[in-house]
Structure 1
Amino acid sequence: MGSGFDEVWGEVRAEATERVVKGAAAPQGPGSAGLSAAGEGHSGPGHAGPGFAGPVDDMSAQAVWEAREAVLERLADFRSRAALVPLDSAGGLWTADFGGVGWICAFSDEAALARFAESRGEESVEWPYRRVLGSRLLDEVVPAVGFPCGVALDAGSPGGAMFPPVKGIVPDRAALDADENRAGGHGGERS
């Protein structure tokens, strides 16, 4: 893969913006991009994948495929590693709100946590934390918090990532896009 995830994602977003500005048709649900009626289809370069219909040139399909693979690789890596999660004043996992969703703040190592503390002007403050396996955060902690919540890894750093509460990242019972959660929300409202 020649480009990093951020570069590919930026290109995909720019192409989508250009299509909207020009009034071109946007991808619309499962359709002709190698998908069957059941939504199953081809994957890999040359096929945009589920959710895309109509012709997609090979360069765009390749970029989408590479971006998708980079995301899945990043998710698998996070799930297999222990992350440092700062504790709040009550001893709970430290969260931040963004876009109506709570985010458990996690860091890949002590240096990343220290950079974050420094960016907040709190480098002299002690930041107690717990080591938690990424898969445990996503599979157990996120569903247990009782409000829409994802995980923000290395917040504020160029290599940071956000793992939102959606199907494929968290269990369906905690996913905002799961059918059972669309009407009534996710396990309760945040107070």
Structure 2
Amino acid sequence: MRGGTGHPGRLLGEFRRTALLVPLSTDDDGGLMSGWQGGVRWIYAFTDEEALARFADARGAGAESREWEYLSILGARLVDAVIPTVDGPTGVAVDVADEDGSMLFPPVVGIVPDACAVDAGPDVAEAV
């Protein structure tokens, strides 16, 4: 769903079935590259190498810089297996350097596991 139109279920389904490119962090602690906004950690993910390259360029790390290592992972595995291992609210930011094509998948029920969702009721937290 973009701009209030579309089918959010279809978009989420495509996201879960898509192989995404997730750059590895250059920090000493390693892991996946991410950023913080509004109290949420956003894992950066890209739909292809060109989108990742645009992101690198926007960060001032274009072609003349080093190559970025990345992981190829299904969207479903990213939200179902990786996000539960991260401390704090975590979502996925897809193609963030593309003004008209970027998408955010926030840490809410229906996108991430209920135990990781910021809008899950208290019964979910007790069940974990």
Same fold (TM over 0.5): yes
Mapped pair 1:126 → 2:63: no
Aligned ranges 1:131-150 → 2 under 5 Å: 131-150=72-91
Tell me the SS of whatever aligns to 1:5: coil
Say which of 19, 24, 43 aligns to 1:87: 24
1:155 CA displacement: 0.7
The answer to whether the 8 A contact 1:173-1:180 is kept is: no
Q: In structure 1, what is the equivalent of residue 110 of structure 2?
A: 168
Identity across the alignment (%): 49
TM-score (norm 2): 0.86
1:182 CA displacement: 9.4
Mapped pair 1:159 → 2:96: no
* Structure 1 pair 180–68 and aligned structure 2 pair: CA distance change class (3 A): farther
* Divergent runs of 4+, >6 A: none
1:114 CA displacement: 0.3
The 2-side partners of 1:99 and 1:168 are apart by 20
Instruction: Report the structure number with the largest CA radius of gyration.
Output: 1
Tell me the SS of whatever aligns to 1:115: helix
Of structures 1 and 2, the one with the larger relative CO (CA 8 A, separation 6+) is 2
Tell me the SS of whatever aligns to 2:12: helix
TM-score (norm 1): 0.59
Higher strand share: 2
Aligned residues: 122
Unaligned runs of 5+ in 1: 10-66
The 2-side partners of 1:181 and 1:127 are apart by 41
The answer to whether the 8 A contact 1:142-1:174 is kept is: yes
1:168 CA displacement: 0.6
Aligned ranges 1:33-72 → 2 under 5 Å: 67=5, 69=7, 71-72=8-9
1:181 CA displacement: 8.3
1:140 CA displacement: 1.2
The 1-side partners of 2:94 and 2:122 are apart by 27
Tell me the SS of whatever aligns to 1:105: strand
- Note the alpha carbon deviations across 1:32-57, whole angstroms, 9 max, x for none: xxxxxxxxxxxxxxxxxxxxxxxxxx
User: 138-147 vs 98-107, which deviates more?
Assistant: 138-147
**CA-based RMSD:** 2.3
Unaligned runs of 5+ in 2: none
1:91 CA displacement: 3.1
1:144 CA displacement: 1.3
Q: In structure 1, what is the equivalent of residue 12 of structure 2?
A: 75
